[in-house]
Amino acid sequence: MSKNIARKVYNISVIGAGHVGLVTASCLADLGHKVCCMDNDSAKIDLLQKGEIPIYEPGLKELVSTNTLQGNLFFTNSMKEAVAHGEVIFIAVGTPPKESGEADLSYVENVAREIAQLMDSYKLIVEKSTVPVETGEKVKNTINLYIEKDVPFDVASNPEFLREGSAIHDFMHPDRVVIGVDSERAERVLTEIYGPLNAPIIITDIKSAELIKHASNSFLAMKISFINAVSRICEKVGADVEKVAQGIGLDKRIGQEFLNAGIGFGGSCFPKDLDAFIHIAENLGYDFKLLKEVKRINEEQKRLAVQKIKDVLWIIKDKKIAIWGGAFKPETDDIRGAPVIDIINELLNEGATVSLYDPQAMENLKIIFGEKLHYADDKYQAIEDADCLVIVTEWDEFRNIDFDFLRQRMKLPFIVDGRNIFSLQKLQDKGFIYCGFGRPQITNSKSGVKK
């Protein structure tokens, strides 16, 4: 259990056992609270009750199992049980994008309605899901519309900033905790819950808290697109974006994180939240052109990966392209919004043969691509006789490579490094054709085709 134990123990329910819900529930339980995690997907709840975890997140299985055994965490598919248990109810259900890019809030509305019909004592209902500004008001109105018993309640916004792959660490060691409230009671309860984390707590009104989440994700996406735009200039003049990023990032006002150039961002958050924020602004009468450009630059980076292959191979029809990595980033099996999807589709459209390896995401990739690809058992099997290797995800196991072996097994010693993980000097010495992003390119290998 965490060393930071809650001084006051709350009965908490978390609705939604997705990435954010499950991590939130487990971490709150680890802080000593009595937590019920509810999801209406019975198959998922069955798994969790058996101690199995439906997603890959380092450390989560152990955290769930310890806290279940200690009696701090339990799972249910019954909303009735969840509402009865929790004085504080976190809503952590999905807010998927509609075709227009607008967030679909029907799951949030549904949960708010059910809570209203079931509650028979004070409840603090906390938005944890990423939601558009003014959702808090809508949740409050919905509860007022459907409430059956005359009991008080509060609504609060408490956006989550955890990243997949380091979710538990991020939850337990946040840079800040944002609490949007409009009552002293809600402020006190949430401050007591988060106090043990010893992080700065920002208390705001509900709308500002909601905006902080979208503004924060959009800003990070903007940083990535900014460095990717700079990387295009670097390529034109033969400069090195890694050095440029270091040079600007050491300025504390800019900061070094999220300045890695490459094939761009993916995931279930940045692409979706950018679209949602553009849409929210539009609805409020503001054309957020800056964010539209952030999105456009990101799309371009994926096309650039295929262009780099074509620049060397000319025609890619019937060429074998090996891909290392499919997850939208390392330490996750998540491929939602992953750049690999567009890259593979374009390669297949051009008639290439694709051989793929990812340490965790293979099963998810099979669901999308079925028989269209060759799925390799390991990284070296994937590159056998390949005309090109593309690095899509910077898993640690791709960093320390036996380049001599690679060179022997590939048809052409040619690497497109979508995450700039390799040393330019090393690949030059080993005789590779090497195209990173925003770095000088090595366009001629010493001896070309494998003998």
Which residues have C-beta within 8 Å of that of residue 102, sequence separation ≥ 6? 275, 276, 279
Alpha-carbon distance of 275 to 221, in angstroms, equals 11
Minimum distance, C-beta of residue 325 to ligand UGA, in the bound complex (Å): 10
Which residues have C-beta within 8 Å of that of residue 290, sequence separation ≥ 6? 222
Q: Which is nearer to ligand UGA, 213 or 379 (CB)?
A: 213
Minimum distance, C-beta of residue 426 to ligand UGA, in the bound complex (Å): 22
Minimum distance, C-beta of residue 269 to ligand UGA, in the bound complex (Å): 3
Alpha-carbon distance of 94 to 248, in angstroms, equals 36
The answer to whether residues 197 and 177 touch, using CB atoms and an 8 Å cutoff, is yes
Alpha-carbon distance of 335 to 433, in angstroms, equals 28
Q: Which is nearer to ligand UGA, 55 or 84 (CB)?
A: 55
Q: Which is nearer to ligand UGA, 39 or 242 (CB)?
A: 242
Read off the amino acid at residue 5: I
Q: Which one is catalytic: 36, 234, 269, 388?
A: 269
Task: Decide: residue 334, CB within 10 A, 0-12 exposed, 13-18 middle, 19+ buried.
Answer: buried
- In the residue annotation, 269 being an active-site residue is answered as yes
Q: In the complex, which residues of this chain contact ligand UGA (CB under 6 A)?
A: 130, 160-164, 217, 220, 224, 258-260, 262, 264-267, 269-270, 328-329
Minimum distance, C-beta of residue 189 to ligand UGA, in the bound complex (Å): 22
Minimum distance, C-beta of residue 19 to ligand UGA, in the bound complex (Å): 7
Alpha-carbon distance of 241 to 271, in angstroms, equals 23
- Helix, strand or coil for residue 217? helix
Alpha-carbon distance of 399 to 402, in angstroms, equals 10
The answer to whether residues 379 and 358 touch, using CB atoms and an 8 Å cutoff, is no
Give the distance from CA 292 to its chain's centroid.
Answer: 20
Which residues have C-beta within 8 Å of that of residue 45, sequence separation ≥ 6? 17, 38, 39, 75, 76, 77
Alpha-carbon distance of 414 to 129, in angstroms, equals 43
Buried b vs exposed e over 290-301: b needs ≥16 C-beta within 10 Å? ebeebbebbeeb
Q: Which is nearer to ligand UGA, 259 or 312 (CB)?
A: 259
The answer to whether residues 424 and 440 touch, using CB atoms and an 8 Å cutoff, is yes
Find, among 439, 434, 443, the residue nearest to 407 by Cα.
Answer: 434
Q: Which is nearer to ligand UGA, 328 or 432 (CB)?
A: 328
Q: Which is nearer to ligand UGA, 90 or 265 (CB)?
A: 265
For the chain, state the CA radius of gyration: 24
Minimum distance, C-beta of residue 133 to ligand UGA, in the bound complex (Å): 15
Q: Which is nearer to ligand UGA, 79 or 341 (CB)?
A: 341
Minimum distance, C-beta of residue 417 to ligand UGA, in the bound complex (Å): 13
**Residues catalogued as catalytic:** 269
